[in-house]
Structure formats: structure tokens, C-alpha cells
Amino acid sequence: MAVVGVGQELNGDDAAGVRVARALLKRQRAGSSDAPRPAPFSLLVVEAAHAPENCTGAVRRFAPDLVLVVDAAEMGDPPGTIRWLDWREAAGFDASTHTLSVSMLARYLIAELSCEVGVIGIQVQNTSLGAPVSPPVRRAIGSVCRGLTTLLLGVHAPSTPGEA
């Protein structure tokens, strides 16, 4: 499995996907010795930032069966809402801050790898240039990180102040 964090760090809440990937990488490196059980599969975590096409080589070489894209989204929900989306649903909220949209990335990966692609969307509040990540999105980042850490790394991940 591969987790790809997408977003523009300079645009407030649009940094959500990148922040999730960064936290997972940190936990993957530090927490592997604390795992109560070995991970049942290989895991690749990628900080794709605002140019997800730059990560496709690493993802292709890894050849996962499932790619999970984490991205900030305008879904019309309250800020900080977390939703699991089919990649085709992501076409409606593709961010203009990306050089390649999530739906186009998904189409490419499916065509190249015959893999499944899922999207975790985090509802944004503010994506203004230079804005900080808003409190509801910061909490959502923490929730996604804890859930994915427990699920993918087999490590119970307690809340950590300032983790997002």
C-alpha cells in the first residue's frame, strides 16, 4: 500500500495531505520498533506536496495494490470534516494548487499499476496564501494520522500536542 499526501503548504489548510504524510513518515521511522505486531504488508508513504506527478516513479517502482491519497478538499462540509471518497468523487474538488489533479493522478496510477485508488478528503476552512492551518483542520490531520498509524503501522498512536 502507498499513502500519498498532496497539498500546498503555503496555502493554509491545503497543507493537510502533506502534514498527514509527514507525520506518518515520522511515526513509521520512529515507531516500527514499538509495533506490537509486524505490519502485514509493505507501506510506502510519500509527501507529494503540490506536484503529485513527481511521486509517480516511486509509487510505480513500489507497485502497490492500493494507493491512498490524502488531500485537503472543498466538499461543502464543516471545516475539518474527514471523508473517504472514491477517486471519481475527487474530480469535483480537485484543488487548483496542484499541478496534477487527484482524479488525473488516480487515472494514471490505475492505468499504470492496475491498482485501486482511494481518497481521504479533509474539508478546508482557509486556503489563503500564507495562512496557518486552521484549528479544525489541524484536529482532522491528527485524527487521520492516529487512525492510519493504528491501521497501517499496528501502533496505538495517542494524541500528541502540536503533531499537525
What is 13-71 written as a DSSP string?
GGGHHHHHHHHHHHHHHHHGGG-SS--SS--EEEEEET-GGGGHHHHHHH--SEEEEEE
Q: Give every CB contact of residue 51 below 8 A, 6+ residues apart in sequence.
A: 98, 99, 100
Residue 160 located in a structural domain: no
Q: Is the pLDDT reported for residue 37 higher than 50?
A: no
CATH for 114 = 3.40.50.1450
137: in domain: yes
Of 52-56, 57-61, 106-110, 152-156, the one with minimum mean pLDDT is 152-156
Residue 79 clears pLDDT 70, i.e. is over it: yes
Give a yes or no: residue 92 inside a domain.
yes
Position with higher pLDDT, 143 vs 164: 143
- Residue 33 covered by a domain: yes
Least Cα distance to 89 among 79, 101, 103, 108 occurs for 103
Question: Per the domain annotation, does 23 fall within a domain?
Answer: yes
Domain count, the chain: 1
Whether residue 161 is contained in a domain is answered as no
pLDDT band at 31 (very low <50, low <70, confident <90, very high): low
Q: Which domain holds residue 117?
A: 2-153
Contact (Cβ atoms closer than 8 angstroms) between residue 93 and residue 81 = no
